[in-house]
């Protein structure tokens, strides 16, 4: 157990340090290409792992899924960094990619296997680039006209803090749940989906969510939107979202009878195991901050 905790802690701290370094480079250059490249790499790696993970159950066109996923993320990022019209192409591209995957599955005779493959490919595209793409939207707040310039927050610092918060709340609550579950956990929550999840781990995740949200509220530009009275509610909601994301990936892995999506990182698994809760947290954080900023603008 001690070795497992040391490895998970070391890898988790390394990932956080890498994210911090990328955000620092982007901050001093005034651009967001570091985060965009990271998002492309993670989505591409996640799509490849997803296709490989489910191929024993249903056929998924791996190359098409990877190209569609990375293309969508690149267009979204280019829309923020190069020209807004590139970003407007992201949704039409996603629709075209969806139709392409559909036609790939129509090349042979109809069967349950092909139908499962179509459903799996469609879910993979929604799961990775569509949900995960909101991390870029959060990084470039208030981009795309979703937040007014008079929201009273430095746009660059808000985007950086929002992106870092997504990563921190996703991985931080997971780490809190892991330690609480290992040290105090006895009663299982959902053993049929994730045997390692315990009531103690669940409580640890909620506490971690509140703690991390409180730290960002107190020491980052998110405090201008997420005031201290909102911290408990936001922290608990985000912890529940993170737990849900982790459970969804656990459900997927158990459905196709694999332990980890890959063997990339010891005690962590693959890319999907690292970003599972991030892709669920990203849209919630984005719309939460957009909503709070809008309320700030319209309040007298």
- Confidence band, pLDDT 50/70/90 cuts, at residue 151: very low
* Phi and psi torsions of 221, nearest 5°: -65, -15
Q: How far apart are CA 146 and CA 171, in angstroms?
A: 27
Contacts of 28 (CB under 8 A, 6+ apart): none
Which tens digits make up the pLDDT trace of 240-273? 999 988 888 888 887 777 776 666 666 667 888 8
DSSP code at position 267: T
Q: Which residue has the tokens 């459905």?
A: 255
Share above pLDDT 90 across residues of the chain, in percent, rounded to a whole number: 28
Which tens digits make up the pLDDT trace of 172-195? 898 888 888 777 766 776 665 666
pLDDT score at 150: 46
**Ranges of each domain in the chain:** 150-300
- For all residues of the chain together, what is the average pLDDT? 82
Which tens digits make up the pLDDT trace of 275-290? 888 999 999 999 999 8
Give the pLDDT mean for 98-124: 77
> Model's pTM, two decimal places?
0.87
Structure tokens at 23: 């955000």
DSSP code at position 129: I
């Amino acid at each position: 157990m001690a070795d497992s905790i040391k490895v998970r802690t070391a890898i988790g701290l390394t990932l956080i340090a890498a994210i911090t370094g990328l955000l620092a480079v982007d901050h001093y250059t005034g651009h967001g290409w570091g985060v965009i490249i990271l998002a492309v790499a993670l989505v591409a790696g996640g799509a490849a792992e997803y296709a490989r993970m489910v191929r024993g159950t249903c056929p998924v066109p791996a190359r098409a899924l990877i190209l569609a996923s990375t293309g969508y993320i690149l267009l979204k990022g280019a829309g923020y960094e190069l020209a807004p019209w590139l970003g407007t192409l992201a949704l039409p591209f996603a629709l075209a990619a969806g139709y392409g995957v559909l036609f790939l599955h129509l090349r042979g005779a109809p069967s349950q296997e092909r139908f499962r493959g179509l459903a799996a490919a469609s879910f993979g595209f929604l799961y990775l680039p569509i949900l995960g793409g909101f991390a870029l939207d959060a990084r470039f707040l208030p981009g795309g006209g979703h937040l007014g310039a008079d929201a009273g927050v430095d746009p660059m610092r808000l985007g950086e803090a929002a992106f870092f918060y997504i990563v921190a709340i996703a991985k931080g609550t997971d780490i809190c749940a892991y330690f609480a579950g290992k040290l105090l956990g006895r009663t299982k929550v959902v053993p049929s989906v994730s045997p390692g999840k315990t009531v103690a781990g669940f409580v640890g995740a909620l506490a971690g969510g509140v703690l991390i949200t409180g730290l960002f509220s107190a020491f980052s530009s998110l405090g201008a939107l997420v005031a201290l009275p909102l911290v408990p509610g936001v922290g608990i909601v985000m912890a529940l979202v993170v737990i849900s994301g982790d459970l969804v990936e656990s459900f997927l892995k158990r459905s196709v009878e694999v332990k980890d999506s890959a063997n990339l990182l010891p005690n962590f698994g693959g890319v999907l195991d690292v970003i599972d809760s991030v892709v669920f947290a990203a849209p919630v954080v984005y719309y939460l901050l957009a909503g709070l900023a809008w309320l700030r603008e319209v309040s007298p």
